[in-house]
Structure 1
């Protein structure tokens, strides 16, 4: 199967078809949805019991709130939410970081199961998901994410779409999103059509995004990096070399729905071609096919009242093209299946148990093979129980056991000849409590013990990676990563006014991370002199004792309301402190203290938002890293909603980084050679019918 190649004409045809045939829409279709067609605020990721009053620290984005944040990558779309930053590797690439943790400590799910890619292996590998096709994003921070495995030790990001319809649809509905602008002249569009007869339902969507080189406020290299480059270096200015790209694709799905459930199947394809901002001559060509099956049955008789099954199979490939020739081909294919069974009350307890199975085979083939072909098999059992002790006091307990097996194959490559099979048994458990102090105030806390098996690249990496300018070396004898984590939050909710402030602490034994050795090497890991062409920074994976702690703040207050006029003020902020306890050195790529103040104004169909974000400088960096400077970023958004016949429209104008700041995220591995975009303006139009 190959991804659909779609053009703006495709979007127009889909929209016209839906508009021409749109008729009687079942009014109950939106009974589980929020305004604008987005899913209602019931968290499906944090708790299989489907509650809204969660113990876990969690955030959901949907509807207009998601629309106004959508950018070129999933990481940048979520960047700035409490505790969330992004890896960012140019405008097309960004993977979420939660509380300073990234890679295989953050599980990125698509409708609850894995869609295999290579984004956790390296920062230049994009997450193959288009933000315009996502209806809802759920972020679960901290120990409550253990139901998804040791690889969720930092948190879970679950993107949810309706490619498998979960509710009955009568007639036809659909939508079109289009936008232009930004610091890279992004042209983006997406369209979808859904229809059904009350029993059978279908979904079709298509998307296309293309960008030019990103405009930047000044030099691509930072002041400190230019001092290291020397006076004779050719320095890029005004735009970021090799930062253009394009991706496109689409999906087709269908389902049979009934009063107590649904069952359906979907396929989606994704194609991308973008440049590596670390190497002017390296481009990445990516392709992914993903097939999913999902079903849920409610109101069952017997010990279980509800069963939910999710399955996804993914075939992923990307090639790194160096000077027109393929240097490395990354492939990852496999499946993940998850079954959750919600049981009836057992005394005061209600909860769910489940089984999760996955197997994937990852390979990096070519002259610059980074890891051996490795098959990873994971079998897990998990459960969650809750006890409403009183109307004001609730307890929860969760546990998970998983068996992980890594099976490498050298395939004739001598540098992987010593790689051997590894087996791990990982156990995790958590306790949580929520106490309502009053009808408006509550306090929630969680504590967990989590074990994570090393990822294949942490074990077996032994090769160059030109796209990041590194030579990576794994530790084949690495042991499990173990952590004790806790968080505590105070929450307030009263109508439109709500807020929370929370603290967290995690202590790791054998925290596995990259450490730069300070040596420059060639493709054969032989030391070379500074200034040598194609020199690579040698980095090794090493386990250390580590601790993370910090604070997260999120609040929204209605400060004025008169007639149709209303003004809301939002304040968010976070801070993460992370250190290597073995040598008391900071851990790399940790975001500094950040704070965002926003004012929202609404008057009938008109809306406006001003947002001011300040990030302090990050000077707590490892010895071989450079610090980052502070920045203050200003953004403005103006929206207008209107109706044309039976269609709802939203037009918007968005300005980002209006102060044209030189912004370099401390969480980015390329921060000293690739800043974020400069001043930009974007216009967009969205319709739903």
Structure 2
């Protein structure tokens, strides 16, 4: 008995699917690493335990991550070290949408989308009464992991599922050193030193042989607190000083050397030593440990024309970021001196979710299926320095989506629907960088498909309403920078269009052209951030005046498939208006925090994707033989 929700697939342009067999071959721990082998996809990693997909140079708040078609608690766009929790052993399929997928999933999919499908809610009745699997792995470098999953038919119409996983590993071993040689080069600049997390003991030496005179005024007033003069003011190029309104000759500097190159610098910087923020051991990636636990359970009621499923999820993770940050701690002495101590940056997350999926097949040829899905989730995401909590996000999320799949005639079909999400984000911690806030997002969409062999066309439109609000938060302390301005309420109205046309040649080759217009509302961090962000070592400043971001994208692709040979090429170009980015201000605070602000500018992204493969059936070399005794 096949599932209705599997039959009512969206008719969209080409997307990439990874099934369970492919996921088993990849065996990656993060979503970004899992998809990084696909052309146009990179792993936006923040260490070995934190990695999200970067689609055609876009990531974070521009790539929507979904669970079974619904938005999830994804704070990676706010802080790249906090990834959504997934039980990678429980996944059955990953769908990847390259390019804007906003018509289907809203403004956050302006750069693409990743839909993760799991096994928690059974899709079909089982061929046997009970099925199950269990696995255990132990490695010298990637630790140990265990997983199990069992499914069972219950009565005539019910199917149940239960699964769990556990993973542990310590700091990872790597060849060579964790830092490039430039980290210890005496010529290293201040920005590179901060990124490499090294302290540089610099001394700036003034070249006194370049100054021919000593200031008589400074000599006479050096000890007068009224003038606050120092030895740095003593040396001068002027041959006289003004004292009490009279011109007085300056004495000569006995250190002066005449005839030097006029381009000789006045100051010379000498580096006496370079030390790491925290000890680094060759061959070991520091603070790369990880622990993960997950439990999931679900059940489905499956009939020929109706299905209803419920899934429950509990996930916990604790992992390190290969970086260190400074916070002041008192030294146990009789003085009031505070000593900076660098501690490892860690992340701990707890996530609990429940999901309902339903599908109904009406007794009419016009409507193929009606679907209604809902997901609720509460999460606790913490950023730690060692074991000290510097920031905590408590989030509550609700998302629902309803779709109707129509079949108007043999060559015209489509999917239309509505979706809505609500997110409340509250924080704790003495160094948190975002005030309490909530977001409401709603959308209505339609995507139509016309198939007139050999031509296929897709046309789609979506309209979104987005509201961002800050909440009363007397404990939140903002930085000295812009820090979100007035933290004003913002409302955005977004429009999305997409269209593509594909010409197929005898199922062997195709040519396809695509256009999409997409819009994205600024995220809560882009609008309201305003404090030290330890995970990225930046004082992050939002701007509540920012406008929505929009893009016009063009894509041309072609492909050929013949026998075991497969080839495809795609050229894409996107023009962004008011592209939001975190910009340097040129200011830095104590503790090595660079001050950055969210700003907007126009930009263009373009590139090529080429892929070729050849598959050969090796079974031709083997002959099956039966030996009889």
TM-score (norm 1): 0.71
- Note the C-alpha offset of 1:330: 1.2
Listed one character per residue, the Cα deviations across residues 39-92 of structure 1 (whole Å, up to 9, x for unaligned) are: 99x8x8xx624xxxx633x21111322111121211111112111111111211
- Note the C-alpha offset of 1:249: 1.2
Map residues 318-397 of structure 1 onto 2, 5 A cutoff.
Answer: 318-345=381-408, 349-388=412-451, 390-397=452-459
The 1:462/1:361 distance shift into structure 2, 3 A limit, reads same
Listed one character per residue, the Cα deviations across residues 406-435 of structure 1 (whole Å, up to 9, x for unaligned) are: 011241135368201100000000111111
Query: Which ranges in structure 2 are unaligned for 5 or more consecutive residues?
Result: 189-197, 201-272, 325-342, 479-483, 625-629
Q: Among residues 110, 113, 116, which one is paired with 2:70 in the alignment?
A: 113
Pick the structure with greater CA Rg.
Answer: 2
Number of the residue aligned with 1:232: 274
Instruction: Indicate if the aligned counterparts of 1:117 and 1:332 stay in contact, CA closer than 8 A.
Output: no
Aligned-CA RMSD value: 2.3
Number of the residue aligned with 1:257: 302
Q: Among residues 250, 274, 279, which one is paired with 2:319 in the alignment?
A: 274
Instruction: Indicate if the aligned counterparts of 1:73 and 1:127 stay in contact, CA closer than 8 A.
Output: no
2:167 match: secondary structure: strand
User: Does residue 220 in structure 1 map to residue 178 in structure 2?
Assistant: yes
CA distance in 1, matches of 2:363, 2:179: 61
Map residues 101-180 of structure 1 onto 2, 5 A cutoff.
Answer: 101-169=58-126, 170-180=128-138
The 1:135/1:226 distance shift into structure 2, 3 A limit, reads farther
The 1:219/1:283 distance shift into structure 2, 3 A limit, reads same
1:76 match: secondary structure: helix
The 1:338/1:323 distance shift into structure 2, 3 A limit, reads same
The 1:232/1:376 distance shift into structure 2, 3 A limit, reads same
Number of the residue aligned with 1:304: 367
The 1:439/1:171 distance shift into structure 2, 3 A limit, reads same
The 1:492/1:120 distance shift into structure 2, 3 A limit, reads same
CA distance in 2, matches of 1:561, 1:277: 44
CA distance in 1, matches of 2:600, 2:183: 29
CA distance in 2, matches of 1:303, 1:441: 32
CA distance in 2, matches of 1:352, 1:185: 44
CA distance in 2, matches of 1:153, 1:129: 23
Map residues 626-665 of structure 1 onto 2, 5 A cutoff.
Answer: none
User: Does residue 84 in structure 1 map to residue 147 in structure 2?
Assistant: no
- Note the C-alpha offset of 1:180: 2.9
Q: Which 10-residue stretch deviates more, 132-141 or 220-229? A: 220-229
2:546 match: secondary structure: coil
TM-score (norm 2): 0.77
User: Does residue 403 in structure 1 map to residue 495 in structure 2?
Assistant: no
Instruction: Indicate if the aligned counterparts of 1:117 and 1:316 stay in contact, CA closer than 8 A.
Output: no
- Note the C-alpha offset of 1:295: 0.8
| Larger RCO, structures 1/2 (Cα 8 Å, 6+ apart) | 1
Instruction: Indicate if the aligned counterparts of 1:146 and 1:153 stay in contact, CA closer than 8 A.
Output: no
CA distance in 2, matches of 1:349, 1:323: 59
Equivalenced residues, count: 511
Query: Which ranges in structure 1 are unaligned for 5 or more consecutive residues?
Result: 1-27, 33-38, 523-533, 566-602, 605-689
Instruction: Indicate if the aligned counterparts of 2:309 and 2:357 stay in contact, CA closer than 8 A.
Output: yes
2:48 match: secondary structure: coil
The 1:287/1:144 distance shift into structure 2, 3 A limit, reads closer
- Note the C-alpha offset of 1:302: 7.3
